[in-house]
Amino acid sequence: MKKPIIGVLPLVDNEKESYWMLPGYMKGIQDAGGIPVMLPLSTDKEVLSALANTFDGFLFTGGQDLNPELYGEKVEDVCGEQCEERDTMERILFQHVLDLDKPALGICRGLQLFNVLLGGTLYQDMPSQRKTDYHVQHKQEPPYTKPVHSVYIEKGNPLYNIIQSESMMVNSYHHQGIKRLSEKLLPVATAEDGLVEAVVMPDKKFVLAVQWHPEFSYHVDEFSFRIFQEFVGICKGGLTDNQ
């Protein structure tokens, strides 16, 4: 059976003026039966339209903070490094993905991107802006394969249907998070402190995003690998006859 070809959004090193990739994004897709291809960084609308029509699915990776102007706020000192070119590329590409109903998986920044582009907002820096009585470690030290907190998954929701569990332990490395959830997204996992940790877009074939990092843990955590398997399986189901 032919394997789906999945576009992986590039990681960008502003200082070195380079594009790069974590192997876990690629190997997670490969081990689940797909063919990953790192996309070029481009804001050319014609190029992005062609990419959207070419690939069977898209993985929106982690990386820099989103520019707060995308959700109507000024950049504060606590906000981290941004990449305007990547923000623009992903905004245009994501809309194409939605219009074509192509499968999309978001990881860390990917979850925040989906929420912002669909009308939600973010904490620019959770440690300084978000007050809670619960202490949850959202930014861990290496090794990143080690789970540091739990998330809760309501029985019967789309993520539960994938992993078949009402809770799982996750790794975590982020200082931003969802503040106001988009009305177009359904929360499917929350941390003990109430932070939304996973979302789906219920009216699409497959738009799922998680705040944790299955690209680091999929080879030691069955639940994280099931996310890759489900994503690749949906992408495979969309293969056309001429592929």
Mapped onto helix, strand or coil, the DSSP state of residue 118 is: coil
pLDDT tens digit sequence for 175-193:
999 999 999 999 999 999 9
Q: What is the pLDDT of residue 205?
A: 96
Radius of gyration from C-alpha coordinates of the chain: 17
Indicate the pLDDT class of residue 65, thresholds 50, 70 and 90: very high
Q: Average pLDDT of the chain?
A: 94
Domains in the chain, CATH or no CATH each: 5-237 (3.40.50.880)
Indicate the pLDDT class of residue 134, thresholds 50, 70 and 90: low
Is it the case that residue 242 has pLDDT exceeding 70?
no
Is it the case that residue 241 has pLDDT exceeding 60?
no
Q: Which pTM does this prediction carry?
A: 0.95
Distance, in Å, from the CA atom of 142 to the CA atom of 147, rounded to the nearest integer, reads 10
Q: Do 89 and 41 form a contact (C-beta atoms < 8 A)?
A: yes
First to last CA, the chain: 10
Q: Is 187 exposed, middle or buried (0-12, 13-18, 19+ CB in 10 A)?
A: middle
pLDDT tens digit sequence for 136-176:
889 888 999 999 999 999 999 999 999 999 999 999 989 99
Average pLDDT of 207-236?
Answer: 97
In the chain, what percentage of residues exceed pLDDT 70? 96
Catalytic residue numbers, as ranges: 108, 213, 215
What number of H helices and E strands is found in the chain? Answer: 8, 13
Q: What is the pLDDT of residue 133?
A: 61
Q: Do 148 and 171 form a contact (C-beta atoms < 8 A)?
A: yes
Q: What is the pLDDT of residue 183?
A: 98
Beta strands in the chain (DSSP E): 5-8, 11-13, 18-20, 35-38, 57-60, 104-107, 121-123, 149-152, 167-170, 177-180, 186-191, 196-200, 207-210
Q: What is the pLDDT of residue 131?
A: 74
Q: Which residues of 137-174 are buried (b: 16+ CB within 10 A; e: fewer)?
A: ebebeeebeebbbbbebeeebbbbebbeeeebebbbbb
Average pLDDT of 34-41?
Answer: 98
